Amino acid sequence: MNPELLLSRIRVVLCRPSHPGNIGAAARAMKTMGLADLYLVEPKRFPDPEADVRATGAVDLLQQARVVASLDEALAGCVFAVGMSARQRDLGPPVGQPRETVSRLLSEAEQGAVALVFGNETVGLSNEEVLRCQAAVCIPTDPSFSSLNLGAAVQLMCYECRMTVFAERPPVPAQGVTPFTSPAATADEVEGFFRHLESVMRATGFLNPAQPGRLMPKLRRLFGRARLERDEVNILRGVLSATQNGTGHGHRG
Amino acid sequence: MNPELLLSRIRVVLCRPSHPGNIGAAARAMKTMGLADLYLVEPKRFPDPEADVRATGAVDLLQQARVVASLDEALAGCVFAVGMSARQRDLGPPVGQPRETVSRLLSEAEQGAVALVFGNETVGLSNEEVLRCQAAVCIPTDPSFSSLNLGAAVQLMCYECRMTVFAERPPVPAQGVTPFTSPAATADEVEGFFRHLESVMRATGFLNPAQPGRLMPKLRRLFGRARLERDEVNILRGVLSATQNGTGHGHRG
């Protein structure tokens, strides 16, 4: 199925969010990753100017957001739901890692609408809410500081959805610029440079032919790693020539 | 190398951030993923109460943050730096995807300090700044809305670092609760249940033995997928029994 279509089937459900700023941040996070369908279960303050400010260019998602009275309403029509849960619940679904869970979510989305369900900033999802979900996920924060912001959690999960649906290689924004390259130098051009370099090092006394040590091998290793371009060989030889004849012909280009 | 030690080698460098709230959000994002080393290049307003508010429990990172006058200062001692770039620059390093780039960053971190370099909210990194980095990365947002918040970008990259360093399975916070399970039902227990179910369906006329259709196979498929536990077989048979004799023995437990 078309990746954009699959992403459009994912609802983001925020249960009882306290801070309108987080609702705005969630909308912006969703839109950057190609999601659009936002459900709010009993938001404390919504609509709210603070939500609009944090949403910046994603205010359209806030305007289309559906405000509902219960998680059941938000999940109506969904074939699969994943609840965020910082901990395993006694009777809840097993808590998985983000990638494996998102993978499952997207395969279920082939069948119809699916949901990512986020709890309140302070108390998370209730046990009853988690039991409405067929899977649970814990974003693996540092155990010593697990205070992930709600908008940040939405951002991470939406990003995982986008990465997965595009098999880890989502298209990047149109680039315009083709990065500068010049043709690779041929082996004989590179050898010409090394001979030139060696002769300069000998002439200056930096390389003692009686005790060459590992100087040349080390320089070969360095330039080998860089895989020289023809243009660069010309520049480097220009530098060497300049040190030899002192005419100071500058580099052009 | 120890994953926590590797994470501690990653600097987050914010170049010329305009909004102190984003600095706070970046600190919180870093701390949730086990990073601690924050550098600020010419922040517009810092320290600032708004930064502290958005950092919540990560104010310690703000207090330890180093404010410097140039990217060079921020990168002093680093063996490798990755710059965020929404686009390819003419002479800049090739722009990679997050996962492959973070992989490289972490392998370089085995050698010493490394950096993730973020640009200003509006203008990003300058060409000169990107050229100070050995690699560039673009977070693959939806091309039609690429307005990723700075704090959100920091969150995503720090998360990728954590996921990669723990080979996609970072430990989740201490759980406390072991999820409820009961032993799996044996095949004969499951068959006993199916016989029981079928007899109830026949007795009630729901299943017509002359035209059974695919009712039983469908029920077998359903319960097969669930992989029944012994406890659940007992409950289901209790329900069936209750419908048969109307004694209404309730479920205990």
pLDDT tens by residue, B32-73: 999 999 999 999 999 999 999 999 999 999 999 999 999 999
Residue B95 to residue B139: CA distance in whole angstroms = 10
pLDDT at A74: 96
- The yes-or-no verdict on residue A252 having pLDDT over 60 is no
Give the residue range(s) of CATH 1.10.8.590 domains in chain A: 187-245
The first and second tokens of residue A89, run together, are 């619940």
Q: What is the mean pLDDT of residues A142-146?
A: 92
Q: What is the mean pLDDT of residues B131-158?
A: 94
Lowest mean pLDDT across A148-152, A178-182, B101-105: A178-182
Ramachandran angles phi, psi of A128, nearest 5°: -65, -40
Q: Which fold has domain A187-245?
A: Helicase, Ruva Protein; domain 3 (1.10.8)
CA–CA min distance A2, chain B (Å) = 14
- The yes-or-no verdict on residue B253 having pLDDT over 60 is no
pLDDT at A251: 55
Residue A157 to residue A123: CA distance in whole angstroms = 19
Arithmetic mean of pLDDT over chain A: 91
Residue A114 to residue A137: CA distance in whole angstroms = 14
pLDDT range class, residue B252, cuts 50, 70, 90: low
For chain A, give the percent of residues with pLDDT over 90: 65
Quick check: A99 and B168 CB within 8 A? yes
CA–CA min distance A239, chain B (Å) = 20
Using an 8 Å CB-CB cutoff, list chain A residues near B152. 25, 28-29, 32, 151-152, 155
pLDDT at B176: 62
Angstrom distances, CA of residue A15 to CA of A78, A161, B15, B179: 16, 20, 36, 23
Quick check: B142 and A172 CB within 8 A? no
Quick check: B152 and A90 CB within 8 A? no
pLDDT at B181: 74
- The yes-or-no verdict on residue B14 having pLDDT over 60 is yes
B228 closest CA partner among B240, B220, B239, B238? B220
Give the residue range(s) of CATH 3.40.1280.10 domains in chain A: 3-165
Q: What is the mean pLDDT of residues A200-221?
A: 90
| Class (C level, CATH) for A3-165 | alpha beta
- Hunting for tokens 């190609």 — which residue is that? A34
- The yes-or-no verdict on residue A150 having pLDDT over 70 is yes
How much of chain B is in helix, strand and coil states, percent to nearest 5? Answer: 45, 15, 40
pLDDT at A249: 54
Q: Can you point out the beta strands (E) in chain A?
A: 10-15, 37-41, 66-68, 80-84, 95-96, 114-118, 135-137
Arithmetic mean of pLDDT over chain B: 91
| Residue that wins the pLDDT comparison between B221 and A137 | A137
pLDDT at B139: 96
CA–CA min distance B113, chain A (Å) = 20
Lowest mean pLDDT across A62-76, A204-218, B65-79, B146-160: A204-218
CA–CA min distance A204, chain B (Å) = 31
Residue B84 to residue B138: CA distance in whole angstroms = 6
Residue B57 to residue B171: CA distance in whole angstroms = 21
pLDDT at B51: 98
| Residue that wins the pLDDT comparison between B213 and B35 | B35
pLDDT range class, residue B23, cuts 50, 70, 90: very high
pLDDT at A82: 96
Using an 8 Å CB-CB cutoff, list chain B residues near A170. 97, 140
Q: What is the mean pLDDT of residues A41-70?
A: 97
Tell me the one-letter amino acid at A125: L
* Helix axes B150-165 and B20-32, enclosed angle (nearest 10): 10
Interface test with A, best of B62, B131, B133, B156 (most A CBs within 10 A): B156
Question: HSE (CB half, 13 Å, CA atoms) of A105?
Answer: 34
Q: Residue A140, preceding bond cis, omega within 30 degrees?
A: no
Select the highest-mean-pLDDT range: A84-88, B10-14, B184-188: B10-14
Lowest mean pLDDT across A78-92, A192-206, B105-119, B199-213: A78-92
The first and second tokens of residue A119, run together, are 């709890």
- The yes-or-no verdict on residue B120 having pLDDT over 90 is yes
- Hunting for tokens 């990365």 — which residue is that? B137
Q: Can you point out the beta strands (E) in A47-108?
A: 66-68, 80-84, 95-96
pLDDT range class, residue A180, cuts 50, 70, 90: confident
- The yes-or-no verdict on residue A78 having pLDDT over 90 is no
Using an 8 Å CB-CB cutoff, list chain B residues near A139. 159
Q: What is the DSSP letter of B34?
A: T
Per-residue exposure over A26-47, b if at least 16 CB sit within 10 Å of its own CB, e if not: bbbbbbbbbbbbbbbbebeebb
For chain B, give the percent of residues with pLDDT over 70: 95
Asked if residues A101 and A135 have their Cβ atoms less than 8 Å apart, the reply is yes
pLDDT at A173: 63
| Residue that wins the pLDDT comparison between A175 and A158 | A158
Lowest mean pLDDT across A4-8, A132-136, A248-252, B198-202: A248-252
